[in-house]
Amino acid sequence: MSDHSHIRPWRHIERRISRKIRVGSVEVGGGAPISVQSMTNTPTTDAAATIDQIRQLEEAGADIVRVSCPDEDSTAAFRTIAREARVPLVADIHFHYRRGIEAAEAGAACLRINPGNIGNAARVRDVVQAAKDHGCSMRIGVNAGSLERELLEKYGEPCPEAMVESALNHARILQDHDFHEFKISVKASDPFLTVAAYQQLAEAIDCPLHLGVTEAGPLRSGTIKSAIGLGNMLWAGIGDTIRVSLAADPVEEIKVGFDILKSLGLRHRGVNIIACPSCARQGFNVIETVAVLEEKLAHISTPLSLSIIGCVVNGPGEALYTDVGFTGGGKGAGMIYLNGKIAHKQANDGMIDEIVARVEEKAAELNAARAAEAVGLAAAE
C-alpha cells in the first residue's frame, strides 16, 4: 500500500548525497530514483537481435541498457540500435579510443570507458571532446579482476584501496579535462571486496555510483550474492544505479534488480506479491497459485501489493496491509480482501481470474488517481 516511511522510521534509508549526472533522459545521482540496468548479450553487429533483446529489457522495466562495442562493425550497428531503443544506451568500450568516439557519434548516452586505459593524452582529449559534443556521460568501471599492474604490485592483490585508487586515478584524468559527467563502479565477484571498495569510494568522491557485484554467477546463487552485496550498500544509502550480473537471461537481471530495490522500499514497480510458504493448513495450493499469478500479473507496472496466504493463521493480518488479498479458508473457498478490508467470499475455483481482475482494477484506479494528481499539480502551477 502507500509509503508509510514517515511513520515507520525503521524503514527509512538516508541516501548518500551525490552529484547528479544524466544518462540520456535518465537522471543518475542527486536523489534521482535508483535506475536499473542490464546489458545485451547478443552480437552487437546483429542489430535486429540486439534491438529485440533491448525491447524485452524495456518491457521488464530497464531504465538503461548497456551494449558492447568491441569493434568498428559494432559501433556501426550501434547507430541503428540507438535509433530504435526507447531507453538510453551505454556503449561498453575497452581500450580502443576510436570505438569511444564512434559510439558517441552513433548515439550512445554514456560511454563505459576507463580513460587511463586508452592511451596517450591526445586520445583521452578526443574521447572527452566527443562525449562533450554529443552529450554523453561516462562510467569509469574498475574491476578487481583487471586492476592496473602497478596497483597490484603496490598492494599485492586486489583490495579495496587498490580499486579506489584506480577509480580516483581515472576520475582525475576526466576532471583534468574539465569533464564531470561521470559515474563510477568498483566491482568484484566477491561481495566483501565489492562492498568495502564502494564504502571507501563513497567517502572519497561525490560522483554517482553504479553498483554491481560482477560475475555474480548463475540465477539463484548470483541473485543471492547480489542481494547481499547490493542490499548492504543500498541499505546504507550508497548507490545511484544498479546492475545485477547474472549468467542468465538479462531480463532476469532487471527483475532481480527491481526486487532488490522493492525489498528495501527504494523503488516500486509492479505487483509485490506477499505469499506464505504454505503447509498442511493451506486451503488451496499456494505455491501453484502464486506461480500462475506472477505470470499473469507480469504486465502490470503500477506499484501495488497482493497477499496470497494459505489460511487464516496469517492471511487476515497480511491482507490488512495489502491492496488486494486472498486468504484460504475451508470447504474449497477463501476470502478476498480489498484495501485491507474483507470484500467477499470466493470459491477456489475461479479465484485466479477474480484476483487478476481485482488487481487490474486496483492498478487502473491508482493510475487514474495519479493522473488526476498530475493534472491538479499542473493547474496549480
| Residues in contact with 165: Cβ distance below 8 Å, sequence separation at least 6, in sequence order | 151
> Per 3-state DSSP, what percentage of the chain is helix, strand, and coil (rounded to 5)?
45, 20, 35
Residues 147, 203: Cα–Cα separation, whole Å = 21
Which of 100, 107, 239, 310 binds ligand SF4 (CB under 6 A)? It is: 310
Q: Which of 315-345 are b and which e, b meaning 16 or more Cβ less than 10 Å from the residue's Cβ? A: bbebbeebbbbbbbbeeeebbbbbebeebee
The neighbouring-strand residues paired with 26 are 23
State which of positions 314-353 bind ligand SF4 (CB under 6 A). Answer: 314
The verdict on 278 binding ligand SF4 (CB under 6 A) reads yes
What's the DSSP call for residue 253? Answer: H
Residues 72, 80: Cα–Cα separation, whole Å = 14
The verdict on 281 binding ligand SF4 (CB under 6 A) reads yes
161 is in an annotated binding site: no
Angle between helices 72-84 and 97-105 (to 10 degrees): 30
Q: Segment near ligand SF4 (CB under 6 A), from 72-80, 189-197, 307-315, 366-374? A: 307-315
69 is in an annotated binding site: no
For CA atoms 215, 37, 54, 94, the dihedral sign is negative
Which of 113, 244, 311, 324 binds ligand SF4 (CB under 6 A)? It is: 311
DSSP count for the chain of H helices, then E strands: 12, 15
Angle between helices 121-133 and 97-105 (to 10 degrees): 10
78 vs 326, which CB is nearer to ligand SF4?
A: 326
Nearest distance from C-beta of residue 331 to ligand SF4, angstroms: 16
Cell of 67: 551494449
Which of 51, 142, 309, 319 binds ligand SF4 (CB under 6 A)? It is: 309
Nearest distance from C-beta of residue 332 to ligand SF4, angstroms: 15
Q: Segment near ligand SF4 (CB under 6 A), from 131-139, 223-231, 270-278, 354-362? A: 270-278
247 vs 291, which CB is nearer to ligand SF4?
A: 291
Q: Segment near ligand SF4 (CB under 6 A), from 7-15, 27-35, 87-95, 311-319? A: 311-319
Q: Segment near ligand SF4 (CB under 6 A), from 186-194, 251-259, 276-284, 300-308? A: 276-284
Which of 233, 276, 335, 363 binds ligand SF4 (CB under 6 A)? It is: 276
What torsion do the CA atoms of 141, 145, 150, 152 make, to the nearest 10 degrees? 130
The verdict on 82 binding ligand SF4 (CB under 6 A) reads no
State the DSSP H helix or E strand holding residue 274, giving kind and residue range, or none if neither: strand 271-275
Cell of 81: 540500435
Nearest distance from C-beta of residue 321 to ligand SF4, angstroms: 15
Nearest distance from C-beta of residue 278 to ligand SF4, angstroms: 5
Residue nearest to ligand SF4 (CB): 310
Please give the backbone phi and psi of residue 211, each rounded to the nearest 5 degrees, phi first.
-95, 145
| Residues in contact with 117: Cβ distance below 8 Å, sequence separation at least 6, in sequence order | 94, 95
121 vs 279, which CB is nearer to ligand SF4?
A: 279
311 is in an annotated binding site: yes
The verdict on 164 binding ligand SF4 (CB under 6 A) reads no
Which of 313, 338, 352, 356 binds ligand SF4 (CB under 6 A)? It is: 313
Q: Segment near ligand SF4 (CB under 6 A), from 44-52, 73-81, 133-141, 309-317? A: 309-317
Report the 3 state secondary structure along 100-120: HHHHHHCCCCEEECCHHHCCC
Which of 121, 247, 279, 371 binds ligand SF4 (CB under 6 A)? It is: 279
Angle value at C-alpha 374, between 373 and 379, nearest 5 degrees: 95
Nearest distance from C-beta of residue 53 to ligand SF4, angstroms: 38
Nearest distance from C-beta of residue 214 to ligand SF4, angstroms: 37
**Which amino acid does the sequence have at 191?**
P
Please give the backbone phi and psi of residue 173, each rounded to the nearest 5 degrees, phi first.
-60, -45
The verdict on 277 binding ligand SF4 (CB under 6 A) reads yes
136 is in an annotated binding site: no
Known binding residues are 276, 279, 311, 318
Q: Per the annotation, where are the binding residues for [4Fe-4S] cluster? A: 276, 279, 311, 318
Q: Which residues in this chain contact ligand SF4 in the complex, by CB under 6 A?
A: 276-279, 281-282, 309-311, 313-314
